[in-house]
């Protein structure tokens, strides 16, 4: 056991991970000294980091509710992260207790914590896989058990694609998942951009490159839109996190949450 409660095998605890940094910003307990040290440096670069992460979780909730209301009953959540408040299966199963969710992450700690949470939830499962290998995810027995590719799917890539460098061809990776989904499926993405606060984004990229297990690759609006090829954007399109169908008071400066968020519906 460790101070984070679970000893994730081979997780490289001296090297901060995206999953544990995110947990740190969310005020979770599943992070270690190295994560907190880098987390504090990132907070110096972007004092608004906790609010951005909170806005991202709120977007995740609104997107899953939107998809559930649109009739989606099965979700593939790539880069699902350490369970936090209001996880995808909890939101989706509130709308329909039969909704099915497959979580995918490549971080041992995420897998351990997700398995704990999902004990006794037969309609949700977690797969340890690298999302850069769609064929492995799509052939996984838990994916095949829970996801019916004859029915529309909600594909979630929330705050994960900016960990995939251009050299890994993230557009083709997303397309490989999208290609197997029937028309009427949805793709939800949030992604850090370097348009609103270029200096801050560059500092964050430098800090992650130098210290973390995951490097960060912020992108421009047009670059993020490439992921939605073959999808029709749901209103209001690809916008700063708080601007996507906010159900409360939109902050005065939405660009301070410098992640773009959008949802698209797969065309026939």
Ligand X SMILES: C[S@@+](CC[C@H](N)C(=O)[O-])C[C@H]1O[C@@H](n2cnc3c(N)ncnc32)[C@H](O)[C@@H]1O
Q: Which residues bind ligand X (CB under 6 A)?
A: 18-19, 22, 56-57, 60, 79-81, 104-107, 110, 130-132, 158-160, 163, 214
Decide whether 160 or 234 has the Cβ nearer to ligand X: 160
Residue closest to ligand X (Cβ):
81
In the complex, the smallest distance separating the C-beta of residue 62 from ligand X, rounded to whole angstroms, is 12
In order, the DSSP letters of 6-36 are S--TT--TTS--HHHHHHHHTT-S---HHHH
Decide whether 32 or 163 has the Cβ nearer to ligand X: 163
Residues 6+ apart with CB under 8 A from 22: 53, 81, 82, 159
In the complex, the smallest distance separating the C-beta of residue 256 from ligand X, rounded to whole angstroms, is 18
In the complex, the smallest distance separating the C-beta of residue 202 from ligand X, rounded to whole angstroms, is 19
Q: Residues of 63-84 as b/e, b for ≥16 C-beta within 10 angstroms?
A: bbbbbbeeebbbbbbbbbbbbb
Decide whether 71 or 165 has the Cβ nearer to ligand X: 165
- Residue 115: name the closest of 201, 9, 42, 202 by CA: 9
Decide whether 131 or 243 has the Cβ nearer to ligand X: 131
Decide whether 116 or 150 has the Cβ nearer to ligand X: 116
Separation in Å, CA 101 to CA 26, 75, 153, 160, 223: 22, 5, 10, 17, 28
Phi, psi of 214 (to 5 degrees): -110, 130
Separation in Å, CA 78 to CA 65, 114, 175, 194, 197: 17, 13, 14, 23, 27
In the complex, the smallest distance separating the C-beta of residue 238 from ligand X, rounded to whole angstroms, is 16
In the complex, the smallest distance separating the C-beta of residue 216 from ligand X, rounded to whole angstroms, is 10
In the complex, the smallest distance separating the C-beta of residue 244 from ligand X, rounded to whole angstroms, is 13
Decide whether 56 or 183 has the Cβ nearer to ligand X: 56
Token representation of residue 230 = 């073959």
- Residue 49: name the closest of 265, 263, 190, 257 by CA: 257
């Amino acid at each position: 056991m460790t101070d984070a409660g679970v000893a994730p095998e081979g997780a490289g605890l001296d090297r901060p991970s995206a999953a544990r940094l995110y947990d740190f910003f969310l005020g979770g307990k599943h992070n270690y000294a190295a994560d907190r040290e880098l987390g504090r440096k990132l907070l110096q670069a972007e004092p608004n980091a906790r609010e951005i992460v909170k806005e991202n979780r709120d977007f995740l909730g609104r997107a899953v509710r939107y998809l559930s209301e649109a009739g989606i009953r099965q979700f593939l959540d790539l880069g699902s992260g350490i369970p936090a408040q209001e996880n995808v299966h909890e939101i989706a199963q509130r709308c329909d207790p039969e909704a099915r969710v497959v979580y995918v992450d490549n971080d041992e700690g995420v897998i351990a914590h997700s398995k704990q949470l999902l004990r006794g939830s037969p309609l949700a499962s977690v797969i340890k896989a690298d999302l850069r290998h769609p064929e492995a995810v799509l052939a996984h027995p838990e994916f095949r058990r829970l996801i019916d590719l004859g029915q529309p799917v909600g594909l979630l890539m929330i705050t994960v694609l900016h960990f995939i460098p251009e050299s890994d061809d993230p557009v083709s990776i997303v397309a490989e998942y999208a290609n197997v989904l029937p028309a009427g499926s949805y793709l939800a993405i949030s992604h850090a951009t370097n348009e609103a606060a270029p200096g801050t984004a560059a500092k964050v990229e430098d800090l992650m490159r130098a210290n973390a297990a995951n490097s960060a690759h912020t992108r421009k609006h047009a670059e993020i839109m490439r992921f939605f090829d073959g999808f029709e954007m749901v209103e209001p399109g690809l916008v700063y996190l708080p601007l996507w169908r906010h159900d409360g008071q939109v902050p005065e400066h939405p660009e301070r949450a410098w992640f773009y968020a959008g949802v698209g519906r797969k065309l026939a």
